[in-house]
A = this chain, B = another copy of it.
Amino acid sequence: MSARNLVVVFGGAGQLGAAVVEAFNAASFTTVAIDIRENEAATVNLKIDLSATEEEKAAALSAGLAAHVAESGDVVKSVVCVAGGWCGGAIKSSEVFKQTDMMWSRNVSSAIMAGHIAANHLAEDGSLVLTGAQAGLSATPGMIGYGVAKAATIQLVSSLAAEGSGLPANTFVGCIMPQTLDTATNRKAMPDADFSQWTPLATVADLLVNWANGNDRPASGSLTNV
């Protein structure tokens, strides 16, 4: 089998992640899914060991990715982070500490890990895409942890897109800002909503493939509503 383009998908076993893996498979990419469980549709699965430190996780992922690239000759064209999570919670409750920790870990730590892997493995002219949210740009008194985590992620996007970030030459750094995605979870949570107003997962996934292929990229570091 000849060398192919390769995408790394953080959160590759999640609802959006599975759609992303499917779209990149259809575009003949090698798909590397990084998650706490496997996605059978991915070419390669690198499972996260939740008991490891972030530094250990990074070393394990780097080694796994490098081994596959050495063997296949694949070119790492894109790193995408669609891992994440949501929870509510206000400042007054003593739950706010656990909530904020969880939001930090699920949203910011995964974004930093994706940026780190991109800095060390992405080819030139590649794309790195993180997942922001409107919450990071506005006040979120009822979801303190989620708001600070998304604000942090959006600032990270601007840092990674800046001169001197250490990413390979001409890396495009994108940030998707999901409105309501048409997922099974959202349909269950909001059964009376007009699903036709929601963004299909395939729409987001196709955008990420496009960006990986160097098409229709907005300015690096900018935020894209999806």
B interface footprint on A44-59 (CB within 8 Å = 1, 0 otherwise): 0000000001110011
B interface footprint on A146-173 (CB within 8 Å = 1, 0 otherwise): 0111111111101111111111000000
Q: Does chain B have a CB within 8 A of A37?
A: no
A164: which B residues are within 8 A, CB to CB? 90, 141-142
Q: Does chain B have a CB within 8 A of A81?
A: no
Q: Is the CB of A139 within 8 A of B162?
A: yes
Q: How far is the CB of A112 from chain B (nearest CB, A)?
A: 6
For the complex, count residues of A whose C-beta is within 8 A of B.
52
Q: Please, how many angstroms separate the alpha-carbon atoms of A142 and B164 in the complex?
A: 7
Closest residue to A98 on the B side, CB-wise?
A: B55
Q: How far is the CB of A156 from chain B (nearest CB, A)?
A: 5
A3: which B residues are within 8 A, CB to CB? none
Given contacts A104-B104, A141-B166, A149-B152, contact A160 B91 (CB under 8 A): yes
Q: Is the CB of A116 within 8 A of B91?
A: yes
Q: A residues engaging B (CB < 8 A)?
A: 53-55, 58-59, 90-92, 94, 96-98, 100-101, 104, 108-109, 112-113, 115-116, 118-120, 136, 138-142, 144, 147-156, 158-167, 221
Given A91-B116, A92-B120, A141-B165, 20 more A-B residue pairs with CB atoms under 8 Å apart are A54-B101, A55-B94, A55-B97, A90-B164, A90-B165, A91-B118, A91-B160, A91-B166, A92-B166, A96-B112, A97-B112, A97-B116, A100-B108, A100-B109, A139-B162, A139-B221, A141-B163, A141-B164, A151-B152, A151-B155
